Amino acid sequence: MQQSRSEVTEREGLYELNAGSDVLDSARYNHDIAPTKVHQRTWNKWHITALWVGMSICVPTYTLGGVLTAYFGLSVGEALLAILLANVVVLIPLTLNAFAGTKYGIPFPVLLRSSFGILGSNVPCLIRAVVACGWFGIQTMFGGLAIHLLLGSIFESWKTLGGTGEVIGFMIFWALNLWIVLRGAESIKWLETLSAPLLVLVGAGLLVWALPNVSMSELLAQPANRPEGASVTGYFLAGLTAMVGFWATLSLNIPDFSRYAKSQKDQILGQIFGLPLTMFLFAALGVVMTAASEGLVGQTVSDPVSLIGHIQSPGWVALAMALIIVATLSTNTAANIVSPTNDFQNIAPKLIDRTKAVILTGLIGLGLMGHELLKKLGLLVSELSLESVYSNWLLGYSSLLGPIAGIMVVDYFLIKKQQLDLAGLYRDDVYPAWNWIGFAAFAVPVALTLLSLGSSAFSWFYDYGWFTGSFLGGLIYFGLCSLRSAQPVVAKAPV
């Protein structure tokens, strides 16, 4: 029987919203961003492990070691250590921000309504969404190249298409990503669970292929690409911050996935099992493969798609490209489409459903890659490389996302003490439309980051942007909430 008012009921620690017409008719509610029901919580720790394996094994991860050695002045050993430590560090906000998603079944933008306001949540949501759309375009570029090489290994005439073939591959891969996400969360879970063991086997096969052509001792003994006598500390911390920034996006919108977890134990163990070691091993594989590429194909190649494309056997190329397509697909659908899909719905839930939000995500990602596509078609000449674009992003956007992560953790655990008015998050009369405290805590570290760009003495604030931003944002938010005389009304869920 429909109830006259919204209630929250607890079942084995998982919350389900039984809403009356006041919530169902609210402009802040639609079916896709509603709390997941208990029967929808089907992801155990192995599904979440597979999610992280599938997202971590991708072309950008493969190139991280090269990015750190070329752009951040680290040696190979220092680069691999930075990657491992960064992924241990990023587990902290990942597991903490996942708690609310698992407990209440709510996605990232709905959780943000608690700290930034019902309408104010759209600002950090759109920041996250634009970054995801950019990454979606970058990953689609790699996936499109793999499709182009796959078709070229099967049809000899396809190779003559050159850049046009890459653009066609891009559009095929683009459409395939959107189709999978439109099929829903179970489709993504199925893809990640299927792809994870295949991707581990691919990594092992590449390692067996490369090891006879590289000396690990010589590789680790290579000097760092930084001024002689320079202290390693500053370079290492900047590289560490950039690597934390790699998953700074998911540390915010992890509730988009944890809302499907069976329990807090499942989401915590799944992330611990799936993330740090996978990232470390696949980044290490990238370093080894790049070093071995000279002996394998006669030239240094820094990405696996191009490296495998140099193999002379069409059969092996076709198989390898098919697996790389699966790898990139598993990363792209989960990491770069799910979040903006929910974020765009948050703007106007009654007007933008999941289908419209997925298409909007795809169009923005397509637009952001327009520069690269025009280069492929020979209509634009540019020296800007795709690798330099995303390596520069790692520091830049981590400075924006760090404060949001700190604010979210402090709001949920210290201010709200893990108790939210679930129905109130979908209405306009419980939480403020705009929470000025959240915006003040966000604006201060962002402003300091912008100022630090013009000051050599203060440049460390930008270089360590995720750490400085998350700490300062959380501290300011806690301080202002403590000083505010009237706390927001928060109804505790019945036990």
Domains of the chain: 42-381 (1.10.4160.10)
> Span 246-275, mean pLDDT?
93
CA angle 178, 184, 190 (to 5 degrees): 95
> Span 80-86, mean pLDDT?
93
Residue 119, pLDDT score: 97
> Span 457-467, mean pLDDT?
76
> Span 280-306, mean pLDDT?
82
Does the pLDDT value for residue 276 go beyond 60? yes
What is the Cα–Cα distance from 200 to 123, expressed in whole angstroms?
38
Does the pLDDT value for residue 11 go beyond 50? no
> Span 470-477, mean pLDDT?
95
Residue 387, pLDDT score: 53
Residue 238, pLDDT score: 84
Q: What is the CA radius of gyration of the chain?
A: 23
Residue 8, pLDDT score: 42
Please choose, from the candidates 330, 262, 403, the residue with its C-alpha nearest in 3D space to the C-alpha of residue 59.
330
Residue 55 and residue 337 in contact, taking contact as beta carbons nearer than 8 Å: no
Residue 383: pLDDT band by 50, 70, 90 thresholds? Answer: low
Residue 62, pLDDT score: 85
E strand or H helix at 9:
strand 7-11
What share of the chain in percent tops pLDDT 90? 40
CA angle 257, 258, 259 (to 5 degrees): 90
> Span 68-88, mean pLDDT?
89
> Span 405-416, mean pLDDT?
96
Residue 18, pLDDT score: 53
Residue 354, pLDDT score: 92
> Span 420-449, mean pLDDT?
94
Please choose, from the candidates 449, 136, 86, the residue with its C-alpha nearest in 3D space to the C-alpha of residue 246.
86
Residue 379, pLDDT score: 57
Does the pLDDT value for residue 15 go beyond 60? no
Does the pLDDT value for residue 169 go beyond 80? yes
Token pair recorded at residue 430: 């419980």
What is the Cα–Cα distance from 366 to 487, expressed in whole angstroms?
44
Does the pLDDT value for residue 381 go beyond 60? no
Does the pLDDT value for residue 52 go beyond 80? yes
Residue 22, pLDDT score: 75
CA angle 219, 223, 225 (to 5 degrees): 115
Please choose, from the candidates 206, 271, 201, 244, the residue with its C-alpha nearest in 3D space to the C-alpha of residue 84.
244
What is the Cα–Cα distance from 84 to 86, expressed in whole angstroms?
6
| Range of weakest confidence among 77-86, 250-259, 483-492 | 483-492
- Tens of pLDDT, residue by residue over 196-231, are 888 888 788 888 888 888 888 888 888 887 888 788
- Tens of pLDDT, residue by residue over 328-362, are 888 888 888 999 999 999 999 999 999 999 999 99
> What rounded mean pLDDT belongs to the chain?
84
Helices within 333-453 (DSSP H only): 338-347, 354-368, 370-376, 386-409, 436-452
Strands 7-11 and 14-18: antiparallel
Residue 35: pLDDT band by 50, 70, 90 thresholds? Answer: very high
Token pair recorded at residue 51: 């999610």
Residue 25: pLDDT band by 50, 70, 90 thresholds? Answer: confident
What is the Cα–Cα distance from 315 to 343, expressed in whole angstroms?
42
Q: Which amino acid is at 155?
A: F
Does the pLDDT value for residue 90 go beyond 70? yes
E strand or H helix at 205:
helix 185-210
> Span 81-87, mean pLDDT?
93
Contacts of 371 (CB under 8 A, 6+ apart): 380, 382, 384
Residue 13, pLDDT score: 37
Does the pLDDT value for residue 393 go beyond 70? no
